[in-house]
C-alpha cells in the first residue's frame, strides 16, 4: 500500500533568526522545504506529499513546488498551516485522500534525511507497528535540573539520566493512518512530536535507527552543518 508524507513547514524559525520563514530559507541555493520534499519523494513507497505551508504562504509554496521537479510517481498538495506544529499536522492530515493507510510526518526543518531512514520507518509500519520513530543515542550526558528563576543563574541538578536508555528522536515518524488521526482527535495537550500523542493513547511506539544527517536545522550553526553536508554529497 502507498504511503503519504505530511510535511509541516508552517513555522517561523524564530531560533534561526530574522529572515524568511525557515522552510523557505535556502540551502545550497534551494529552499529547505524542497530538499525535505525530495527526501520523502526519494522513497518509492511515497506517492503523495502534503506540504503544510506558512498560513499566508500557500501560493508561494505551490509555485515553488511547481518549479522544482519531483519524480513522476509523486503527487503533491499544499495546505495552509496553523499556530502550533500540532495544528499544522492536523490540517495536513485533514487534506489526505482516503486511499493512504500509512502516513509519515516529516519536519521541513530536517531537509537532509537519507532515503534509507525513510524506508526503514515505512517498513516497520508495514510490519504492524502503529507508530515508528527514527532516533539516535545521545552524545552528551543529560541532567535534570530545577530551572533557574532568572537567566544566567546557576541551576541545581536534580538527577543524571541513564544515557544508555535515552534516544534523540527525529523524523519522519511513521503511522498507521487511523491511529494518527485518532491521536490528533483525542489528545489536546500541547505536545512536541506526533508519536507522543500515540503514546498517550496507550499504544506501543517503536524506535528504528535514525541518521546523523536527519538532524533538525534549528539554530544558525545547524545551517553551517547542513551546507557542509550538502557540499560533501555533491563531491
Ligand atoms: N511547524 C509548523 N507549524 C507551526 C510550527 C512549526 O508546521 N505552527 C513546523 C516547522 O515549519 C518545522 C517543524 O514544524 O518544519 C519543526 O518545528 P521547529 O523546528 O520548531 O520550527 P519552527 O517552529 O519554525 O522554529 P522555531 O521554533 O525556532 O520558531
Ligand atoms: Mg517551533
Mean pLDDT confidence for 8-19: 97
φ, ψ (nearest 5 deg) of residue 31? -55, 140
The domain that holds 69 is classified in CATH as 3.90.550.10
Ligand 1, CB within 6 Å, residue ranges: 8-15, 22-23, 52, 81-85, 88, 107-109, 216, 218
Nearest CA to ligand 1 atom 10: 11
For ligand 2, an ion, list residues with CB under 5 A: 11
pLDDT at 66: 96
Pocket test for ligand 1, best of 22, 23, 92 (most atoms within 8 A of CB): 22
Is the pLDDT confidence value at 190 over 80?
no
What is the separation of C-alpha 185 from the centre of its chain, rounded to a whole number of angstroms? 20
- Find the domain containing 68 and state its range: 3-233
Q: Which of 191, 179, 196 shows the shortest CA–CA distance to 135?
A: 196
pLDDT at 13: 97
pLDDT digits (tens, 9 = 90+) for 117-130: 999 999 999 999 99
pLDDT digits (tens, 9 = 90+) for 45-69: 999 999 999 999 999 999 999 999 9
Is the pLDDT confidence value at 110 over 80?
yes
Is the pLDDT confidence value at 24 over 90?
yes
Sign of the C-alpha dihedral computed for residues 127, 130, 135 and 140 taken in this order: negative
pLDDT at 188: 84
Q: pTM for this structure?
A: 0.97
ipTM: 0.99
pLDDT at 189: 83
pLDDT at 191: 83
How many structural domains comprise the chain?
1
Amino acid at each position: 500500500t502507498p504511503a503519504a508524507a505530511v510535511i509541516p513547514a508552517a513555522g517561523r524559525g524564530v531560533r534561526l533568526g530574522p529572515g524568511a520563514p525557515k522552510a523557505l530559507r535556502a540551502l545550497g541555493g534551494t529552499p529547505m522545504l524542497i530538499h525535505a520534499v525530495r527526501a520523502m519523494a526519494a522513497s518509492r513507497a511515497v506517492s503523495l506529499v502534503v506540504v503544510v505551508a506558512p498560513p499566508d504562504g500557500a501560493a508561494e509554496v505551490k509555485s515553488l513546488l511547481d518549479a522544482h521537479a519531483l519524480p513522476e510517481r509523486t503527487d503533491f498538495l499544499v495546505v495552509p498551516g496553523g499556530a502550533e506544529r500540532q495544528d499544522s499536522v492536523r490540517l495536513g492530515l485533514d487534506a489526505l485522500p482516503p486511499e493512504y493507510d500509512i502516513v509519515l510526518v516529516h519536519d521541513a526543518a530536517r531537509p537532509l534525511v537519507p532515503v534509507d531512514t525513510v524506508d526503514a520507518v515505512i517498513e516497520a509500519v508495514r510490519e504492524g507497528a502503529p507508530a515508528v520513530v527514527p532516533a539516535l543515542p545521545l552524545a552528551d550526558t543529560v541532567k535534570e535540573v530545577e530551572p533557574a528563576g532568572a537567566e544566567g543563574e546557576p541551576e541545581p541538578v536534580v538527577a543524571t539520566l541513564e544515557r544508555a536508555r535515552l534516544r534523540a528522536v527525529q523524523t519522519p515518524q511513521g503511522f498507521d493512518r487511523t491511529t494518527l488521526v485518532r491521536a490528533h482527535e483525542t489528545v489536546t495537550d500541547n505536545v512536541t512530536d506526533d508519536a507522543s500523542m500515540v503514546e498517550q493513547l496507550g499504544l506501543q511506539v517503536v524506535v528504528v535507527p535514525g541518521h546523523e544527517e536527519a538532524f533538525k536545522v534549528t539554530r544558525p550553526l545547524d545551517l553551517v552543518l547542513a551546507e557542509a553536508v550538502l557540499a560533501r554529497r555533491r563531491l
